[in-house]
Copies of this chain bind each other. A is one copy, B any other.
Amino acid sequence: MTGSPAIAPLAISLGDPAGVGPELIALAFSQRRELALPSFFVVGGANVLQAAAKSRGLEIDVEIIGAPQDAAGVFANALPVLAEGGDGRFLPGQPSAEGARLALHSLELAASLALSGAASGMVTAPVSKSELAAVGFAFPGQTEFVAHASGVEEEDAVMMLAGPSLRAVPLTAHCALSEVSGLLSQELILRGCRVIHKAMQRDFAMDAPRLAIAGLNPHAGEKGRMGGEEETIIAPAIAQLQGEGIAATGPHPADTMFAPHKRGTYDVAVAMYHDQALVPLKTLDFDKGVNMTLGLPIIRTSPDHGTAFDIAGGGIARPESLVEAIRMAAAAALCRAAAP
């Protein structure tokens, strides 16, 4: 070991100012010493953050910085906020077009700072997709935006959910369950698994990451007795991946692959649909799940929850997921910085 290389601070986008993002950022900052969090700064929203801190009874200072490189010097004493663009007064739980525009500006600027290298990665606080759409945001969500901003095709920007017990990637996600079978293809599996393989090497320092690939049907189809996708699509894709030197196994019956004694046999579970990945993840690691976008030139993580407008300002939203998102982004940044 030669010590950690110095890395740029992380950029945190504000998220919707009416959601739980600002108060969770303030909470995470207030625990930076106990949790040994790396330096970060927030993009915009100084007033929002100060009000959010107050709502949680936190006595923290917010300090405007002029450039990302000022964050590290400020971080010990105050929450650094890069103040470009507007700010304003927003009420928790009451989303507005003005708030959505602030969230969007913060997201866009955070991405550009990560792309330029001024930030070592970005952590995105939650936004409201419908509020963003109403102010002209043309993407289904932040993941698609970040992929586009990074010049990566959407199919190569892969959503991974990770908690202390499990990393899982759903290869299809926000579609009806009845559409899943039609969306599966060898190409989808190959493309996704290649991205996962590379990302585990680059961002998690694994030499030979082990990918456990789930079947689609009960008991992985039992040799075709309950659905044929395992034999026609999934198994041939696994054989191809193995031929490429990727440590892929399966198709595994989904019901047993997340049991405690199985989880230690792989590094990432590759699921065929949303709930096949999200049910075990949230069952095991409800408060600590992190959403990481794999396959990007930049590092991007986010907490695995939404704006939670219904509890924003109510003093009960928990920061664990954001904290873990910050930690995972920082660890990945160190990995990349340490690479030869």
Chain A residues with a Cβ under 8 A of chain B: 173-181, 216-219, 221, 226-229, 254-256, 258-261, 273-276, 278-284, 286
Contacts and interface: CB of A to CB of B under 8 A. Distances in A.
B280 A259 contact: no
Nearest to A277: B255
A280 B275 CA distance: 11
6 contacts: A173-B218, A176-B226, A177-B180, A177-B227, A178-B180, A254-B279
Contacts of A228: 176
Contacts of A279: 254-255, 258, 276, 279-280, 283
Nearest to A178: B181
Nearest to A214: B275
B275 A218 contact: yes
The 7 closest A-B pairs by CB, nearest first: A176-B227, A255-B278, A259-B286, A218-B274, A178-B181, A258-B283, A254-B275
A283 B282 CA distance: 11
A179 B181 CA distance: 10
Copies in the complex: 2
Given A274-B218, A275-B276, A276-B275, A256 B286 contact: yes
Given A218-B173, A221-B176, A255 B282 contact: yes
B274 A227 contact: no
A174 B226 contact: yes
Chain B CB within 10 Å, residue with most, of A176, A255, A274? A255
A153 to B, nearest CB: 22
A175 B256 contact: no
Contacts of A229: 176, 178
A175 B218 contact: yes
A212 B27 CA distance: 33
A165 to B, nearest CB: 9
A258 B282 contact: yes
A261 B276 contact: no
A175 to B, nearest CB: 6
A175 B226 contact: yes
A282 B180 CA distance: 23
A273 B273 CA distance: 13
A221 B281 CA distance: 19
A254 to B, nearest CB: 5
Contact of A283 (B227, B274, B280, B286): B280
Most chain B CB within a 10 A radius of its CB, from A176, A226, A283: A283
A226 to B, nearest CB: 5
Given A218-B174, A218-B175, A283-B283, A255 B274 contact: yes
A280 B217 CA distance: 16
A259 B163 CA distance: 13
Nearest to A216: B177
A179 to B, nearest CB: 8
A286 B283 CA distance: 14
A222 to B, nearest CB: 8
Given A178-B229, A218-B275, A256-B286, 19 more contacts: A174-B218, A174-B219, A175-B218, A175-B226, A175-B227, A176-B226, A176-B229, A177-B181, A177-B216, A218-B273, A218-B274, A254-B275, A254-B279, A255-B274, A256-B282, A258-B282, A259-B282, A259-B286, A279-B283
